Structure 1
Amino acid sequence: METEMADIEAQTRVATNGDTVRNADSAAIFRKANRPVTLKFEDVVYTIKLKKGTLIRMPKNGEGEAEKVILKKVSGMVRPGEMLAMLGPSGSGKTTLLTALGGRLSGKVQGSITYNGQPFTHAMKRNTGFVTQDDVLYPHLTVAETLNFTALLRLPNTFSKEEKRAHAEAVIAQLGLAKCKDSIIGDSLLRGVSGGERKRVSIGQEMLINPSILFLDEPTSGLDSTTAQRIVSTLWELAKGGRTVAMTIHQPSSRIFYMFHKVLLLSEGSPLYFGDGASAMDYFSSVGYSPSVAMNPSDFLLDLANGVSEDYSGEGRLQKVKDHLAVAYMCHIEENLKAEMKRTDEDTKLSKCNQVIRSHAGKEDKQFARWPTTWGQQFGVLLKRGIKERKHESFSGLRIAQVLAVALICGLLWWQSNADNLQDKIGLLFFYSGFWGFYPLFQALFTFPQERLMLAKERSSGMYRLSSYFMALTLGDLPMCLVLPTVFVTITYWMAGFNHAASSFIFTLLSVLYSVLVSQGLGLALGALLMDLKSATILGSVLMLTFQLAGGYYVHYVPPFIGWIKYISSSYYTYKLLLRSQFSPDDTYACGGGDTAVVCLVREYPGIEKVGLGGQAVAVVALGIMLVGLRLIAYMALTRVGVTRR
């Protein structure tokens, strides 16, 4: 026992200092967990309030609000080296329970969930791996790039960059990804690695921190039986290294089923069985349920969870089966599980382990309360990752062809426009503000709805600060969102025969780029606020069309009660700057007819007079306020993404 406690103390000290074993043998780095963790959950209850208008009739609480109980007094215990499988039909509460155990379930969870007898802490969060059902990965990054970027962000600064990359290589070797390390991840539209390899990459991202406890939601979903067995075999090996593994799984094969040390069967949130996987069939036989023919144990258990049994027939037979199993389970849990949780030898061992852990708790919590890396490091890694991923979309051939085609059409339509034909010239200037108001708006609308799952996943794991992510995304998009409008203006400006002065061209270009940044900010804000592409697109279209109509080109005499719209219109201020880039207040144009040469002041032209050639400073400041304000709105909206409470 003394030797064992010395090992535990050494492991705890390693976890506290952040100094995991480092050696040349990369495959051995993750052979053992940093610190064994015993997961215990007792009488877990989770209830949600249903929104008004729901079609489901549910009992109401004392305040008259409809409620639905998702989990109903679920208990269980998993020790280091064990693998727990949560089985049950769809909607039985498996994922909800797993999310609660992983410390990622928002709302109030009743009951007790402890890790080595302690509640969920920052230290446990950094020592926990959580693999979601859907593989949330960047499709254009390779397997090696994905794991390298994750290692640079999640591993603390006690490791050098070379050591972090070595850890990524160790995970690649351990999970059998060496053959596809240079292949892109891919998605439904882009061919990449296979589904099993993609799942192993997701597991590898969590294994980088060498977690003591690993949660997985449906790790075999959508995989064939052979690939599924390989995944579970890998998890079994990880558990063998002293880790605690818990997963949800829908319908495993019989070979996979007998690999589980513990099995928890749920039906509509209620537990029907918890115990050794190998003893599940014997237990149900002892309470009067056994298959008439040899069959997969998981199939039989799911039939029972659905209320299907040969022993009952007729009206209400499904509920009879569930009620009978629920009563049998209550007796089983009282006789077996409660006794198991209170076994003297385990309690003694756990108590001594906790004494060691508590001695380091203050130092450990202080360390883990900080981020694994500095703000600057997070910004640098996220900036590089973002550019690598989004450059394929931003500079796609279709997008470049679209901009070039519109630029050439505009240049031909306005080819060397007459200097005295002001209507044509101001028409092209307003088209600048319109096209480069809509185009970046709709590109930016897609950003955060597409990034939502990734952001939620990485924020839940405490990978980086939201501010570093937001700044990296904003600055990383600058070169990509400014190159195409620069090319567009350069082509159309000279083809249309605008003012040849270099200062006029530069002023026009800067005004357009300024407008692009403001429109992009509006798109980011709407996308972050709504997180729904359809709603954001509709609202963005309405707002931008309103700004266009109030921009000063279409309507010169606006009724006072609605004329205030122009002061919040980015199109109005952009149009004002573009007009000033081409014309001065003292410029004239030929306005007479016939043989008589008559000149008029440009500032008195009807299409220019109402907008005016002054007030450029006000326009610059107004657009600047919009530029900063819209991005602040987007940032504040993102603070609610990926936030979990316990």
Structure 2
Amino acid sequence: MSDDKKTKTADKKIQPLSIALKNVSYIVSSKKKKTEKVILREINGRFSAGKVTAILGSSGAGKTTLLNIVAGKTEATGSVLINGQRFQAEKMKKISGFVSQEDILLETSTVDELLRMSAVLRLPSSLSAPEVEETIDGVVGTLMLDKCRNTVVGEINSVGLSGGERKRASIGMEMITNPPILILDEPTSGLDTFTAYVVVKKLKEIAQQGRTVISTIHQPSSDTFHLFDEIVLMIDGSVVYWGPTSQVISYFAGLGFVCPTYTNPADYFFMELLNGETEGVGEDAIREKREKQREIISQWRTRAHSGAVEEEFTAVKYKELKRTVSFLRQYLFLQARSIKNVLRNKRLSMMKLFQAVFIGTLGGMIFAGGGKDGDGLSVGRVARGCIFFMSTNQVYSPAGTTCTVFAVEKRIFEKEFHAGYYKVFPYYLSKVISELPVQILTSATLSIILHVAAPLRKDLVGFVGSTFFLCMLSMNSFMIGLVVSACFSDPLYSTATLPLVIFPLILTGGLFGKGGSVFSWLRYVSPYKYAVDSIMTLEIVGRKINGTDITEIALEADYTFDNLLVNFFVLAGFIAALFLLGFAVLFATSTRKRV
């Protein structure tokens, strides 16, 4: 790629934004234990434009909490100022990009498609197609993503992007909007020393374009450490140093902590200052170390309070940085992406199809030839058993698969939703629509195999009618799985909850639904009941086998043609109700306040 393309992102005018913190504290209260835990204590400092600042500290020091406060994800006491103006958390998304520690990316997308999604969904719609392409090319050039631009993300530890490429792709998605503030949580986590150095070097180049780059970091190498313009060191929620990296060694040397020559400063600070635990020493040594930590905290707090935090009173411009595009544009893009995801995820698609073929073949072997030597009623009862078999499969398999698959996709949705890519409804609608062909194909495959092998009706009307209602049952099952999985962030809870929902509907909606149980009313809210009633009617009522009318088998369970239209509307109503319920649950769980 030419040097001109590499500098396109840098050529765009960037509004310098500096962030000042004044007496910022964060306290977590426990109502049950009636206790309070101080996470951050009176933080004062400044993140300057044009510089990359690293926040270092041991686990539990408050690094991520400080980062979330700056990003507007967590509320705290004290003041956060942007260019001297009061911090507006709800507008932070418009002026900043946030890159989480874990690279949550759609595995079937290429790097180009990820960047294009960010451009299509977050850049102003007034931009022309050439301008959008220029923006994408600029980010690709800046982050050196040329070689992997058309490579799919892939699963971790599989063929696809490397760890460094995944991280740079995540950064690129935020860079598309040319934000003046870039915030990163542990961008080098899981990367080797060289790859971590490359990532931080790119961050430094990005900062030199006029951006404010803020990052938490954990044990960087010596070369990586010296790339940072400024360093923030934290102990137990307090800052012990905030200033130029070039001065940190001399500052602590003045306090009696001299970093040995040829020693990585980051390693020295972690071992001698930031870490409160000391292996293999007694309580006296630990107590002495704690006392030294309190002393250096006090030293810095006195210094921080004595120096005024410089403020800038340049108006912050929000309007042109990020915009949410129209519903139609969101939906069309997400629908195309969702369909592409289904087509590219060949392993999952083939597994669903194989499942239908395997279950159909197994059922065909079990029910094939059943009752042939007996009378027509005996064969009819075999056919009835086959109907219950395929209906039960289609009420559980789609729901179970959805709970497993959507748990992974939901993490991607939540990351993209909170980053402002799209709203809940267009994503949800595209997800449901793209699943329709899958449910039709698997239901039809199962139905074809069983109609050929088992003693079911071979005529077109019987086959098409039964398959149609089987598809409606499958869509109901898919929607139930979507509702259940939308309720939980952890797939373990959704898969554990699903049987508690599905099995009562199967038991009360099938052969055992007409008893006097206190739960028998559940049959009227069971899609399984209405689908089985319809398929039984189409397969059994009015049919003669070996000269015997087997209608009496159906009449025992009140299966009549008069109910077909009613059953259709009831099943369609269930799909609509579950669709609305799933949307409501997903909206509630994704928009609730996050701590």
Deviations 1:493-535 (A, max 9, x none): 1332432332222211110000011000100000011232222
Does residue 6 of structure 2 align to residue 27 of structure 1? yes
Aligned position for 1:40: 20
Identity %: 28
**In 2, Cα distance between equivalents of 1:229 and 1:443:** 41
Change (3 A) 1:548 1:301: same
Higher deviation after alignment, 156-165 or 609-618: 609-618
Superposition deviation, residue 37 in structure 1: 0.6
Matched with 1:78 is 47
Q: Does residue 466 of the first structure (1) align with residue 445 of the second (2)?
A: no
Write the distance in 2 (CA, Å) between the matches of 1:25 and 1:41: 38
In the alignment, the residues of structure 2 paired with residue 84 and residue 509 of structure 1 have an alpha-carbon distance, to the nearest angstrom, of: 61
Which of 511, 514, 536 does residue 472 from structure 2 map onto? 514
The one-letter code matched in structure 1 to 2:524 is: Y
In the alignment, is residue 296 of structure 1 matched against residue 264 of structure 2? yes
Q: Of residues 215, 218, 238 in structure 1, which corresponds to 2:183?
A: 215
Q: For each residue in 1:522-571, what CA deviation from the matched residue of structure 2 results, as whole angstroms up to 9, or x when unmatched?
A: 00000011232222222212322222222232x37511523212112221
Aligned pairs for 1:278-317 within 5 A: 278-292=246-260, 294-303=262-271, 304-307=273-276, 314=285, 316-317=287-288
Distance 1:157 1:150 in 2: 12
* Residue 383 (structure 2) aligns with: 425
**2:583 corresponding residue in structure 1:** 635
The 3 A distance-change label for structure 1 pair 45 and 448 is: farther
TM-score by length of 1: 0.84
Q: What code does the residue aligned with 1:298 have?
A: A
* Alignment partner of 1:384 is 2:351: no
Asked whether the equivalents of residues 306 and 318 of structure 1 are also in contact (C-alpha less than 8 Å), the reply is no
One-letter amino acid of the structure 1 residue matched with residue 332 of structure 2: G
State the match for 1:114 in structure 2. 81
Q: 1:189 to 1:399 in 2, by over 3 A?
A: farther
Whole-Å separation in 2 of the counterparts to 1:398 and 1:308: 50
Unpaired runs of 5+ residues, structure 1, are: 1-22, 53-59, 591-596
Cα 1:611–1:97 shift into 2, 3 Å: farther
Tell me the residue number matched to 2:164: 196
Please tell me whether residue 544 in structure 1 is matched to residue 513 in structure 2. Answer: no
Match of 1:405 in 2: 358
Alpha-carbon offset, residue 76 of structure 1: 1.4
* Alpha-carbon offset, residue 426 of structure 1: 1.0
| Contact 1:98/1:217 (8 A) holds in 2 | yes
Match of residue 540, structure 2, among 564, 580, 583? 583
Question: Any idea what SS the aligned residue of 1:30 has?
Answer: helix
Amino acid in the other structure paired with 2:25: V
8 Å contact from structure 1 (residues 456, 642) kept in 2:
no
Q: Is the contact made by 2:122 and 2:324 (CA closer than 8 Å) also made in structure 1? A: yes
**Which residue of structure 2 aligns with residue 372 of structure 1?**
324
Shift of 1:218: 0.8
Q: C-alpha distance in 1, partners of 2:142/2:569? A: 56
Spell out the pairing of 1:249-264 with structure 2 (5 A cutoff): 249-264=217-232
In structure 2, what residue type is equivalent to 1:37?
L
Q: Deviations over 1:134-174 (max 9, x none)?
A: 11111222222222222222222021344323322221122
Moved more, 72-81 or 518-527: 72-81
Q: Distance in 1 between matches of 2:179 and 2:82?
A: 13
Cα deviations by residue, 1:438-493 (Å, 9 ceiling, x for unpaired): 11011111243212322222122211111111111111121123212112212221
Q: Give the total of aligned pairs.
A: 580
Separation of aligned partners in 1, 2:150 and 2:3: 22
Structure 2 residue identity aligned to 1:255: D
CA distance in 1, matches of 2:519, 2:238: 59
Question: Of 288, 293, 301, which aligns to 1:330?
Answer: 301
Q: Does the 8 Å CA contact 2:6/2:140 hold for their aligned counterparts?
A: no
Q: Name structure 2 gaps, 5 residues minimum.
A: none
Do the aligned partners of 1:49 and 1:66 also contact (CA within 8 Å) in 2? yes
Counterpart amino acid of 2:412?
M
Tell me which residue corresponds to 1:5. Answer: none
Deviation at 1:395, TM superposition (A): 5.0
Distance change in 2, residues 1:211/1:407 (3 Å) = same
* Pairing partner for 2:522 from 542, 550, 565: 565
TM-score, scaled to structure 2 = 0.91
Measure, in 1, the Cα distance between the counterparts of 2:571 and 2:347.
Answer: 24
Residues of 2 paired with 1:325 and 1:24: CA distance? 47
Moved more, 206-215 or 623-632: 623-632
What root-mean-square deviation, in Å, do the aligned CA atoms of Structure 1 and Structure 2 show? 2.7
Residue 622 of structure 1: aligned partner: 570
Deviation at 1:267, TM superposition (A): 1.3
Q: Which residue of 2 aligns with 1:184?
A: 152
